[in-house]
Structure 1
C-alpha cells in the first residue's frame, strides 16, 4: 500500500451533480477530498483519472464463490477478482458451498479461506439450517459471535413455517437479519423458466410466480410476529413487490434486493431454449419487470444485488431442462445498469450508487463501506462513463462466462478499484 496517494482530476457526485475533484488517500483512508488540481502532490504517488467518475466501492450482498466444493466453476480468488473488476469492494458470500459451513468449526474455516484468498472484503453468510435444506437450526449464537453477517439458506427456500419462525425468533434476539431465497418447492412443478405465454410457446415447464410470492407473504407475517429483520433475495414478481410494499407500510422490518437481470430483462427476451437465460427465480413477464423498477424507485425494494452464480460452459451448453440455474453478474452490473437505465434518464447516477453501495452497506450495518467521505477506508471504484466495451468471454475475470448479456456494448467501465488504499484492479 502506498503511504500517500492522490487520485487527481476525477469527478464525484455532490447531490445529483458530477463535480471535479482530487481524492487524497493516506495510510489506507480517505484523508482529503478537494477541488480538482488543488491537492498537494508532494511526496505522493499520483494517478490522473482524466475526468473519470470516483465512486464509493460498490457493495454486493449476494455472490456465489463455489469454494470449497465446485472450484471448477469459481474460487474465492477468481470470484473476488471478478468483483473488483466490477467495482465491488465489499461482497457477501452465500453458504451454498460443500461442505456447508453449518457448524462453528466449518464456519470459522470458511472465514479463514475467505481471508486467505479474497482481494476484496468478504462478508460471510451462515446457513439457517444444517445442510442448508433441512429443519434443524444451526447454532445461531455461535455463528453470530464468529461474525456471520446474516443467516440464509440461499438456493433453497425454508419450506417449514415453524423452522422459519424459530429462526426468526433467534435472529431477532441476536439482531442479525434472516435473508431468504423465497421459493415454495410444492409450487415449482419442475419448472425451468417463468410460467406464461413464452414457456408455453417454447414447450418448456414453467415456474409460477406465486411460488415466490406465497413464501414471502408467509415470511413477512412471521417477521411481524417475531420482530426479526427479514431480507428478501432477488425479488422477481409483481405480486411479491405488492406484498413487500404492504409489509413496509405496516411497519414490518423487511428489506429487499433486485438483480440487474430482473430489472433489464423479461421472459420475452428468451426466444429459444437457451440456458444462458436460466436463473432462479426466473425472468418474469414484462409486467413483473415494470413492477420491479417501480418498487426500486419508490423504496419498496432497497438495493440491487448481482446473484453472481458461475457455472461451467459445458453445464450451460445443455437444454434449460438440464442446465443449472444461475448467471454471472458482478463484472457487468454497474456498466449494464449505467448504460440501460442511467444514460436514457430512467434513473439518476446518484440513485444507482445508492442502490449499489450506500443502501446495502446501511441495511446490513457495514460501517466501513458504501460512502466516499473523509475518514472512511479508501474502498473506492473509479468508472469511465464515456468509453464503451463489448461483453465477450475475454471480458471476464470470473471462471464463469454464463451471461445472457454476451455481445452487449456497454459504457461505465471500471478503471480502478481500491480496497483500503490498495489497488486491486486497474484497467
Structure 2
C-alpha cells in the first residue's frame, strides 16, 4: 500500500478550513498539520492550495448492473463516482434481479466490493420484485447488509403498502427512501406542465404528481412515528411541506439533486432528452425554493440520482427516451460553479460540503465516512476551485454521457480521489 503526503492544501475539517498538510499511511489518516515531514517511501503531492475534503457521499445512484450493463456497470459507475470525488455511494435496487431478499443483497454486496472503485452501499427494494405487492423481510435484508430500502424509480401507489413499509422498516431499524410519484396523475406527461411544455408541444406533468403522494406519506410517517427519507425533492410546495412536517416532529429527511438546484424547465432547449428526468425540471420559482430549503436545512443533503442511459435511447426525444441524466462526475463542480463561486451567492462552500459529506452520512447513520479524522480510513477528495475545464462527453468514466452540462465550463473539478488511502482517481495534467 502506498503512503501519501498531501502538502499545501486547504483542508476542510469539522466545519472549518485550515492550510496545511495531510499524511496518509497504511490506508488511514495518520496526521495533519503544517510542514509535516514525509516518511521514507511516501509519495508527496503538492496541492498548491487545492481544496481537501472528506470523500463525498451520495445516497442515490443507479449502477444498472445486473440487467442493463449496456448503460452502466459497477466498475464504470464507481469509476464515475471516483472521478467526481465520491468515495461512498448507495446503489438503488432497480436492477434485474431485484435485491429483495437476504441472499440477493449479499450477492450484490459481494460484487460491489469486488468490482467497485469506491465504497458501494446497497439498497434493497421495499416490495418484492419492486412492484406492487408484499413488502420484503426488512429485518433479513438489513442483517444481510442493506443500507436502506427503496423502490426508487417507482412510487408506492398503495397507502396500505406504505403504512406497512414505514412500520416494518422502523421496527427493523432500516432507513426507507421513497420516490414520491402518484402514477394516476401523470397523464402521459414528459416534462413539467407549463409554458415550456406548451412551447415544445409535449404533454406536461402536474406538480401534484409529487405533492399528493408526499402529503400522504408525511401523514403516514407522523402516524407511525417512523423515519422517512424523501428522494429528489423538486418543488416549492414540497419544501414547504417538509419544513412544516419537521416543525411538527415528523422524522423526515430530504435530498435534492444538482439538476433541480441548477436547472429549470425554461432551460430545456427543445426536444432534447438530456433534459428529461424524473421528477422533471420544475419552474425557476421551484429552483429558488429548493435552494432556500438546502440553505436553511429543510433539505438535508444533495444526492446525484446518477442515471446513465445509452446514446441511442436518449436520441428518441422527450416523448420516447427514458428519464434520467448522469450526475456523479459533474455534481460538485456544477453546484460550486453556479451557486457558490459567484459573488453574493446564497450557498456557502461550507454548506455545500456538509450537504455532500457529513449530511448524507448522518441521515443513514453511516460510520467512518463524511469526515476527516485521525485514525479513520483515508477517504479523501481534492478539488481545484481555480481552474475551469470544459465538460466533455468523451472524458466521462461513466458509460452514460446523457448530461445537460456537456459543453459547459465548470470550476471545482476533482483532482484526486483516495479510497482507503489508495489513489483511485487522478486528473490528467495538461
- Tell me whether the two structures share a fold, i.e. TM-score over 0.5: yes
Is 1:377 the counterpart of 2:384 in the alignment? Answer: no
What SS does the aligned partner of 1:124 have?
strand
Q: Partners in 2 of 1:39 and 1:240 — Cα distance?
A: 52
1:171 aligns with 2:169: yes
Cα deviations across residues 358-383 of structure 1 (Å, max 9, x unaligned)? 10011111111000121221000001
Residue matched to 2:296: 298
Select the residue among 179, 182, 205 that pairs with 1:181: 179
In the TM superposition, residue 40 of structure 1 has moved relative to its aligned partner by: 4.3
On the 8 A contact 1:296/1:303 being kept in 2, the answer is yes
* Secondary structure class of the residue paired with 1:125: strand
Structure 1 residue 15 displacement after superposition: 7.2
Instruction: Name the counterpart of 2:32.
Output: 33
- The answer on whether the counterparts of 1:276 and 1:316 sit within 8 Å (CA) in structure 2 is yes
| C-alpha contact (below 8 Å) 2:14/2:371 kept by paired residues | no
Q: Map residues 19-98 of structure 1 onto 2, 5 A cutoff.
A: 19-35=18-34, 37-98=35-96
Report the more deviating stretch, 219-228 or 68-77.
219-228
- What is the CA-CA distance between 1:45 and the residue it aligns to? 2.4
Are 1:150 and 1:177, in contact at CA under 8 Å, matched by a contact in 2?
A: yes
Consecutive unaligned residues of structure 2, counting only runs of 5 or more, are none
The residue that corresponds to 2:387 in the other structure is 387
Report the 3-state secondary structure (helix = DSSP H, G, I; strand = E; otherwise coil) of the residue aligned with 1:397.
coil
- Equivalence map 1:14-413=2 (5 Å): 18-35=17-34, 37-344=35-342, 345-413=345-413
Distance across 2 between alignment mates of 1:325 and 1:353: 28
Change (3 A) 1:261 1:398: same
Whether the 8 Å contact between 1:22 and 1:39 is mirrored in structure 2 is: no
Cα distance in 1 between the residues matched to 2:175 and 2:97: 23
Structure-2 separation of matches of 1:22 and 1:150: 36
3-state SS of the aligned residue for 1:31? strand
What is the distance in 2 between the residues matched to 1:352 and 1:300? Answer: 14
Deviation at residue 225 of structure 1 after TM alignment:
1.3
Q: Distance in 2 between matches of 1:176 and 1:18?
A: 34
Query: Which 10-residue stretch deviates more, 43-52 or 83-92?
Result: 43-52
Deviations 1:85-116 (A, max 9, x none): 00000000000001111122222211111111
Superposed displacement of residue 14, structure 1: 5.8
The SS at the match of 2:187 is coil
Which sits farther off after the overlay, 174-183 or 256-265? 174-183
CA contact (8 A) 2:103 2:144 kept: no
Aligned to 1:6: 5
Say if 1:210 and 1:239, in contact at 8 Å, map to a contact too: no
User: How many Å separate the matches in 1 of 2:392 and 2:269?
Assistant: 20
Q: Work out whether 1:420 is the aligned partner of 2:423.
A: no
Residue by residue over 1:288-325, the C-alpha shift from the partner in whole angstroms, topping out at 9 and shown as x without a partner, is 11110011111110000000000000100112101000
Structure 1 residue 426: Cα displacement? 0.9
* RMSD (CA atoms): 1.2
Aligned-residue offset at 1:38: 3.1
Q: 1:166 to 1:17 in 2, by over 3 A?
A: closer
Unaligned runs of 5+ in 1: none
Q: Is the 8 A contact 1:74 1:400 kept in 2?
A: yes
CA distance in 1, matches of 2:50, 2:380: 12
- TM-score after normalising by structure 2: 0.97
Deviation at 1:392, TM superposition (A): 1.2
